[in-house]
Amino acid sequence: MCSINIFGFVVVLLSASVMSVPVKGPRVAFDDDVIQYSNDCNCVCGMSNRQMRVIGGNITKVHEFPWLAGLSKNGEFYCGAAVITRWHLLTAAHCVDGIDTHTITATLGDHDRLDKNRFSTIQVRSIKKAVPHNLFDPSSYNNDIAILELDEALEFDARIQPACLPNSDYTGQIAIVAGWGRTKEKGETASILRKVNVPVWSKKDCYNSDYGEQRLSENMFCAGYEKGEKDACQGDSGGPLQVKTAGGNMEVIGVVSWGRGCGRPKLPGIYTKIVNYLHWIQETLNGECLCPPPSHNPRRA
């Protein structure tokens, strides 16, 4: 994340030629009942570890976002992801497009990547299969979403928990983006997980940004500040943007997708709009147990 001279996070830089590509395209339909929660999962989603101690500044509480995962390629950290089931992670399609999945590993339950004692508590998994959205366009980043299937199920504990999927787009609310990305546009990646609060823009405001309406599809949304400064930055593409619900749990509403630079005025971060992909996610999970939020009331027959 990037907050001018303050801290670090994600998003890829696109070239000027890519920025001019129009991306009007199909919007994935959804309905309010698409998320089929199971009553037998023995888990709940979206529970932040608020009781953990604060390290300082904009650094997160230890395991504050227990669904956050780090992806490494040939041992080098390069993208973020979010746990959605014991077997699956949600990330950006461009994080896996054209990459041999056998070179990717996912690290769960991490906080300080330089802590030598972390190996007794983190869980590391290989990727069995990567499923980018079939309509992902690498030239425009439309439909920039993917699901990773792990080679071994995760063991949920206080450090590792699943995220909740959204039931709204949360326009106008304050969201939180977190990751180990660069602390500024040309800076180093962070060793300790960091976070930044960013407001979710309306479609109109997003179109009025310096990107322009023709650059943005219905599957994207903006989050950030008009004056810049606080933003996602290079290093954690694929990571989650989350909001706290009235019920106290957190929902992941966006996937860090792209942006022009980090923290520049009138150029907010662009996120994949997860609520547009609930049907696709449900189908791709193929019946895997999806943990409900704590406020979920199962329907009785």
Cα separation, 141 vs 164, whole angstroms: 24
What pairing do the DSSP bridges indicate for beta strands 230-231 and 220-223?
unpaired
What pairing do the DSSP bridges indicate for beta strands 2-3 and 240-244?
unpaired
Question: How many other C-beta atoms can be found within 10 angstroms of the C-beta atom of residue 17?
Answer: 8
Phi and psi at 33, nearest 5°, equal: -105, 15
Cα separation, 28 vs 62, whole angstroms: 36
Question: How many other C-beta atoms can be found within 10 angstroms of the C-beta atom of residue 155?
Answer: 11
> CA Rg, the chain, in Å?
18
Catalytic one among 63, 94, 111, 133?
A: 94
Asked if 113 and 181 touch (Cβ cutoff 8 Å), the reply is: no
- CA–CA distances in Å: residue 78 to residues 22, 60, 97, 154, 183: 27, 19, 13, 21, 14
Phi-psi region of 114 (alpha: psi -120 to 50; beta: other; left: phi over 0): alpha
Catalytic one among 48, 140, 217, 237?
A: 237
Cα separation, 148 vs 161, whole angstroms: 16
Element (H, E) at 73: strand 68-73
94 annotated active-site:
yes
Catalytic one among 110, 144, 169, 231?
A: 144
Asked if 55 and 61 touch (Cβ cutoff 8 Å), the reply is: yes
Tell whether the torsion through CA atoms of 107, 110, 113 and 117 is positive or negative.
negative
237 annotated active-site:
yes
Residues classed as catalytic: 94, 144, 237
